[in-house]
Amino acid sequence: SVLSGGGGNPGDGSADAWRAHVRSYVDASRRSRLGIPILYGTDAVHGHNNVIDATIFPHNIAMGATRDADLVRAVARASALETAATGARWSFAPCLAVPQDPRWGRTYEGFSQDPSLVATLGAAAVQGWHGDDLPATGVLACAKHYVGEGATVWGSAGGHRHPWIDWWDGWGADWQIDQGDVVIDEDELRRVHLRPFTAAVRAGALTVMACYCSWHGRRVHAHRYLLTDVLKGELGFDGFVVSDWMAIDQLHPDHATAVARALAAGVDMVMVPFDHRRFVATVVELVEQEHLPVERIDDAVARILRVKARIGLLDGRVDGRAEVRDEPPVPVEVVGCEEHRTLARTAVSASTVVLTDDGVLPIPDDATLLAVGEAIDDIGIGCGGWTISWEGAAGAVTTGRTILDGLRSRPGGVVAYDPHGAVGDVRADVGVVTIHELPYVEGGGDRADLSVPPDQIDVVARIRDRVDRLVVVVISGRPLLLGAVLEHADALVAGWLPGSQADGIADVLLGRVSCTGRLPVRWPRTEAQVSGSPTGSDDGDEAPPPLPVGHGLDLAPAAGPPDRPSPA
């Protein structure tokens, strides 16, 4: 298999460049000794998000707020078609994390803190990726990261502090919780974190990615009980386990020892980004020196071949000769098509959660409107991490529509807009102000302090004095500690990381569609509640309790155009 890691985009990053790039690898593999085609994998985790002009859907935390399995399935199906259109037939999605501590930089990759919701939506995502005809237009899903990553403990991140790994001048040394240690007992591990994987296997998942994290100090990539006895034995998983990126190098300073431990534990395919020749030579040596039974290699290879056969990659082979390789099963015009963008806009509206509202929503058509905030007209901030590049970035990183685009399409448009609130002495009936997090990914998003930065609170306070009613929209990958924002806002809305069609948030604010989003994670209101258990308040009765999972106010659409049809 060959992968494009986050940001590993070919050529100009267009769908055509991807299509040509993937085809060149597949065709070369067809000409190899056995002619078995490679499986091309990529992190299409919220649409085919590495590809310029592809539809970028809301990240999983937003999809969790919809609580809508049919919608999650439809979004995965659309993502699969855009991925297959570029020739890639394997996506490293869905992430089935059940995030416990919002300080974790991968919180937004999880659907929810409710394991049963993660199980339901994760199974729907697998079904969407595979579709009704896996060999025809299916893309292999990858249930990840197995198992327990959402429960790592703050300060335990060991993933990037291995003295024998030169992580590019100490890069990642400041990570705090990502890839850390899980210290819960087996009952909680099974009840909360294994449950989504059981559902994904039942839904037909054929690949599972192991988790960097460790359980009571033992890395999952070397954990035979979890990878073989539980996943393959108890759950009956007959696909293959893929390692995470360079994860086996964390198992031991001696490469051969690390490889032996991972393969013996049950890893079947190893993600080796830099030196695959050394890896292959090491495996051959381990078998020849009888440190690794060849039966383990046969089992791993058989699993991989079975999966390739199930997705049709071995079809059309006659006497070892592959028929001429046809084009990918989906036309490239599907990438970023209007139908998918409309679906994304619907998903954005369905994921929007109204946390508080003093009667200002929906914003009347005849109200004058002020629009402020760096995120209100910034696609890159709205897409977050895993978008075009690994970390993502602010700015016009790809095409789409912003919240401001949506607000400007109302009858009176907006009377003024400025990203930093420099609107002179303009006044308006209503102000819409966004606060936000800049894009981040993995441990790079591990943050001790989730408070809204003071400069953003200053903008909110400044606009407060210029409008009669103030709506604050939070564009973030997780709950933030809102502080003084709570006093200024007449309505507070969680927009999460909406992706390329953020005008779906404006649709809710303007009453074009109903709002039914619900919190997929608890929203802490004090520092002490941030790392507390997801069920209770952890600082006595004096503080307002966190907003619980399931919180959200309904908004009926204003009189006027009916709700857009939900995706069947």
Which residues bind to ligand GLC, rule: CB under 6 A? 5-6, 43, 92, 144, 244-245
Residue 8 φ/ψ, nearest 5 degrees? -80, 65
Tokens of 386: 């895993």
**Residue 245 CB, nearest approach to ligand GLC (Å):** 3
Residues with Cβ within 8 Å of 299's Cβ and at least 6 positions away in sequence, in order, are: 268
Closest CB to ligand GLC among residues 68, 178: 178
Distance CA 409, CA 423 (A): 20
Q: Are 322 and 30 in contact (CB under 8 A)?
A: yes
Q: H or E stretch including 65?
A: helix 60-66
Distance CA 17, CA 8 (A): 12
Residues with Cβ within 8 Å of 410's Cβ and at least 6 positions away in sequence, in order, are: 363, 365, 369, 506, 510
Nearest to 53 by CA among 327, 341, 329: 341
**Residue 43 CB, nearest approach to ligand GLC (Å):** 5
Please confirm, yes or no, whether 333 is among the known catalytic residues: no
**Residue 478 CB, nearest approach to ligand GLC (Å):** 17
**Residue 140 CB, nearest approach to ligand GLC (Å):** 13
Which residue's structure tokens are 């990642």? 172
Catalytic residue (one of 442, 446, 490, 503) = 442
Query: How far apart, in Å, are the Cα atoms of 342 and each of 69, 129, 502?
Result: 18, 19, 11
Q: Beta partners for 42?
A: 4, 91
**Residue 97 CB, nearest approach to ligand GLC (Å):** 10
Which residue's structure tokens are 């060959």? 2
Q: Are 196 and 216 in contact (CB under 8 A)?
A: no
Rounded to 5°, angle at Cα 68 from 64 and 72:
75
Q: Beta partners for 472?
A: 433, 492
Catalytic residue (one of 178, 244, 374, 446) = 244
Closest CB to ligand GLC among residues 222, 472: 222
Closest CB to ligand GLC among residues 386, 417: 386
**Amino acid in position 208:** V
**Residue 6 CB, nearest approach to ligand GLC (Å):** 5
Closest CB to ligand GLC among residues 144, 522: 144
Closest CB to ligand GLC among residues 25, 245: 245
Closest CB to ligand GLC among residues 97, 502: 97
Please confirm, yes or no, whether 244 is among the known catalytic residues: yes
Distance CA 508, CA 486 (A): 20
Strands 207-210 and 240-242: parallel
Closest CB to ligand GLC among residues 50, 501: 50
Distance CA 498, CA 480 (A): 16
Distance CA 110, CA 6 (A): 18
Helices (H), 389-495: 403-408, 454-464, 485-488
Residues with Cβ within 8 Å of 486's Cβ and at least 6 positions away in sequence, in order, are: 356, 492, 525
Strands 214-215 and 218-219: antiparallel
Closest CB to ligand GLC among residues 97, 471: 97
Kindly list the catalytic residues: 244, 442
